[in-house]
Amino acid sequence: MDQPDPRTADLGFARVDLDRAERTGDAEVVYGAGKTPDQVVAILRALHDRHPDRAVLATRLTDAALDLVVEALPDAVADRVARAVTLGPLPEPRGTVAVVAAGTSDAPVAAEAALTIRVHGAGVDRIDDVGVAGLHRLMAVRDRLAEADCLVVVAGMEGALPSVVGGLTGVPLVAVPTSVGYGASFGGVAALLGMLNSCAPGVTVVNIDNGYGAGVFAARVARRAEPRPEARSEAGA
């Protein structure tokens, strides 16, 4: 009889990758869309049992899944704006990611990115409602953009904000198009194409509404960022 693979938890409906943190430094994350609330709870529990010393994350959860998770797993923390939950302690942050959102309607995607960044080991500076229709709002936080180790820039409509930010700073930047907008935005396709065609060099783009993917990328950049000269001098003081 074959021995069970200790790197995998076979739940019948899912084969949970328990070894991912060893391979990549980051544990598997539960993508909740299409899963029943009971399945989300079971996968989270399996991941937490393997990684009790670190937070595990479930994203894209329905209201029913959020309700069941916090009932079945009392230590879970729900973020209803991000439609996500964490279970376990968040790591000590290394580096900082500024999550820059164009408008309030982009908040769910920005919140998903921010929570993902914290779970994956970096700190977060939220900068909300600084879209290009009021550029003075963005210019007022320019110093915070420059101080970050990586930027996640979230925008819908025509998706212009990452290009503007990319022209103001050389900080590594990942752009997230959202599905926010009227008919000709085509559910985020207009923003996606605008970001892919950015004139500002160094703009990296993820898929529409993919705050999670942007958050993982940005956290990995920030975790490996070299300390700034002022940070090194403070540490040696």
pLDDT given at position 21 = 86
- Give the whole-angstrom CA distance, residue 197 versus residue 56: 35
Of the candidates 127, 130, 86, 122, which has an alpha carbon nearest to the alpha carbon of residue 220? 122
Q: What integer best gives the mean pLDDT of the chain?
A: 92
What's the rounded mean pLDDT across residues 66-93?
96
Residue whose structure tokens are 């894209």: 60
Same domain for 210 and 99?
Answer: yes
Q: Is there a domain that residue 6 lies in?
A: no
pLDDT band (50, 70, 90) for residue 2: low
| pTM, entire model | 0.91
Sheet holding 77-79, edge to edge: 30-31, 56-59, 84-87, 77-79
> Where among 53, 87, 121 does a domain terminate?
87
pLDDT tens for residues 7-56? 888 888 899 889 898 899 888 999 999 999 999 999 999 999 999 999 99
The secondary element (H helix, E strand) that includes residue 211 is helix 211-223
> Where among 87, 108, 133 does a domain terminate?
87
DSSP 150-205: EEEEEE-TT--HHHHHHHH--S-EEEEE-S-SSGGGGGGHHHHHHHHT-SSTTEEE
**Domain of residue 160, CATH code:** 3.40.50.1970
Same domain for 48 and 136?
Answer: no
pLDDT band (50, 70, 90) for residue 162: very high
Q: Is there a domain that residue 23 lies in?
A: yes
How far does Cα 197 stand from its chain's mean position?
A: 23
- Give the whole-angstrom CA distance, residue 44 versus residue 41: 5
- Is residue 195 a contact partner of residue 159, using CB atoms and an 8 Å limit? yes
φ, ψ dihedrals at 44, nearest 5°: -60, -45
Same domain for 130 and 200?
Answer: yes
With a pLDDT cut of 70, the percent of the chain lying above it is 95
pLDDT tens for residues 164-197? 999 999 999 999 999 999 999 999 999 999 999 9
Structural domain range at position 176: 94-223
pLDDT band (50, 70, 90) for residue 5: confident
Same domain for 101 and 62?
Answer: no
- Give the whole-angstrom CA distance, residue 188 versus residue 110: 15
pLDDT tens for residues 200-222? 999 999 999 999 999 999 999 99
Q: Is there a domain that residue 230 lies in?
A: no
Question: Taken in order 161, 114, 79, 20, is the CA torsion positive or negative?
Answer: positive
Widest pairwise Cα distance in the chain: 68
Same domain for 186 and 164?
Answer: yes
Type of residue at 85 = V
Same domain for 79 and 189?
Answer: no
Q: Is there a domain that residue 1 lies in?
A: no
pLDDT band (50, 70, 90) for residue 4: confident
> Where among 52, 68, 87 does a domain terminate?
87
Same domain for 115 and 210?
Answer: yes
Tell me how many domains the chain contains: 2
Of the candidates 57, 74, 70, which has an alpha carbon nearest to the alpha carbon of residue 119? 57
